[in-house]
Amino acid sequence: MDQTVESSPNARRGFRVQAPLVDSVSCYCKVDSGLKTVAGARKFVPGSKICIQPDINPRAHKPKNSRRERTRYQPPLLPGLPDDIAIACLIRVPRVEHNKLRLVCKRWYRLLAGNFFYSLRRSLGIAEEWVYVIKRDRDGRISWHAFDPTYQLWQPLPPVPGEYSASLGFGCAVLSGCHLYLFGGKDPLKGSMRRVIFYNARTNKWHRAPDMLRKRHFFGSCVINNCLYVAGGECDGIQRTLRSAEVYDPNKNRWSFIADMSTAMVPFIGVVYDGKWFLKGLGSHREVLSEAYVPETNTWNRISGGMVAGWRNPSISMNGKLYASDCRDGCKLRVYDEATNAWNRFIDSRLHLGSSRALEAAAIVPINGKLCIIRNNMSISLVDVLSPDKRVESNPHLWENISGKGHIRNLFTNLWSSIAGRGGLRSHIVHCQVLQV
């Protein structure tokens, strides 16, 4: 704005006063303080806003650039060290202490809440694997627990969301190494569900994911190439047993239907082996059925033979071989020989726990290159399947019971054993997974 006016008495003498340059939408506080009053400023800034505080200090209005400049400076993560060296130190702190690190300051909290911190741990090979156990207690409620095999401690977790606190027949799988998904299932009041939620081990929080395309419970599920596959199961209604199958791609964040199964099935066992998904379950007329899904061709095929005949739960595919439990407490293992199409005895711990429901082996998962056997009483054993010596007598580290060491851990394990024993069939492990962070 280029505007001049005459001012008395200087105007009579030939002098002119230059109006200050200000934004017309600004308040009078930005006008040159030499004008002293708002009334005087109004002559030079017509149409501008009236300041609610005429006597405000003009210097109190800081330009936005100065605010950006102030935020550019951040205190170092560790005093006296560059941030890259500080991060190199922090990523080596054991995972059990990460919750404490988040409480130090805002910068540490933001660092541990992002993907960079844990991606760096994973790329350097220092990410830790924990065992996550989802258990149905004797009151029918779902609880879950995390076990740190390094320090052999059970860790607290946030409660399971309400929709899964008492549901039946829901699935559980891990994507991207650190996201634990719960999906489907049957709510006691609402019936079959399509709901999908997931737990992020990096942030220790639950989140929602897109619902499945079909309601189902007591179905089969697996993960191939970081995609979640679901097939069969039951649904409330006229057609109870399902043939449909679908897949969830986390990169696209959506579900898609795949080829239907050959026959409707309620799977009770499944495993991914040699790039195929094997399922065994009951058909519409309660007959035993077995099928295999090939992702590359999107086809289902009926299977039979020695693998299916001797296939028992729990089982796991690891290092190109298929292992399964050979006794109720999981203290004997078998391995499938593809050449002979038969199951062979693999290893015996020589220390059998019993055949009670509380001591039954509920799951076998891989952890730190070993087989991890989890039982209903929350006891855990590690088996080194890569050891060349398969005789326990000459190799004491071949079969190791890691849960229950120390007085506190014995007390915790005995407590869970007591709960599982009193609950009978109602208290047991529903799912078991491994998350890496």
One domain for residues 403 and 280: no
Q: What pLDDT does residue 310 have? A: 74
* Torsion, CA 115, CA 119, CA 121, CA 127, rounded to 10: 90
Residue showing tokens 């026959």: 263
Looking at the predicted structure, is the pLDDT value of residue 299 above 50? yes
Looking at the predicted structure, is the pLDDT value of residue 30 above 50? no
Least confident stretch, 32-46, 88-102, 176-190, 367-381: 32-46
**Structure token pair of residue 404:** 């229950």
Ranges of beta strands (E only) in 310-427 are: 315-318, 321-325, 332-337, 342-348, 361-367, 370-375, 380-383, 399-401
One domain for residues 137 and 66: no
**Structure token pair of residue 297:** 């061709």
Domain range for 270:
179-186+193-198+210-299
Can you tell me the distance from the alpha carbon of 187 to that of 37, in angstroms, rounded to the nearest whole number?
71
pLDDT tens digit sequence for 55-67: 444 454 455 555 5
One domain for residues 308 and 399: yes
Contacts with 182 (C-beta within 8 Å, 6 or more apart), sequence order? 160, 164, 170, 171, 172, 196, 197, 198, 199
Q: Select from 268, 299, 330 the last residue of a domain.
A: 299
Residue showing tokens 């017309």: 24
Average of pLDDT values for 17-36? 42
Average of pLDDT values for 219-229? 97
One domain for residues 145 and 218: no
**Structure token pair of residue 256:** 């898609």
Does the pTM surpass 0.75? The reply is yes
Least confident stretch, 23-27, 85-89, 176-180, 389-393: 23-27
| Domain count across the chain | 4
**Structure token pair of residue 197:** 């939620």
Contact 196, 174 (CB under 8 A): no
One domain for residues 145 and 45: no
Query: Smallest Cα–Cα separation from 361: which of 327, 385, 323?
Result: 327
Residue 12 binned pLDDT confidence (cut-offs 50, 70, 90) = very low
Can you tell me the distance from the alpha carbon of 334 to that of 325, in angstroms, rounded to the nearest whole number?
6
pLDDT tens digit sequence for 230-287: 999 999 876 689 999 999 999 999 999 999 999 999 999 999 999 999 999 999 888 9
One domain for residues 233 and 260: yes
In DSSP terms, 155 is beta-bridged to: 146
Q: What pLDDT does residue 72 have? A: 64
One domain for residues 234 and 315: no
> Which position has the higher pLDDT, 342 or 72?
342
One domain for residues 320 and 427: yes
Strand pairing category for 227-231 and 245-249: antiparallel
One domain for residues 234 and 265: yes
One domain for residues 84 and 119: yes
Q: Select from 49, 71, 93 the last residue of a domain.
A: 71
CATH number at residue 100: 1.20.1280.50
Q: What pLDDT does residue 238 have? A: 64
CATH number at residue 325: 2.40.10.480
Ranges of beta strands (E only) in 68-128 are: none
One domain for residues 38 and 107: no
Quick one: DSSP state of residue 114? S
Instruction: Answer yes or no: is 172 within a domain.
Output: no
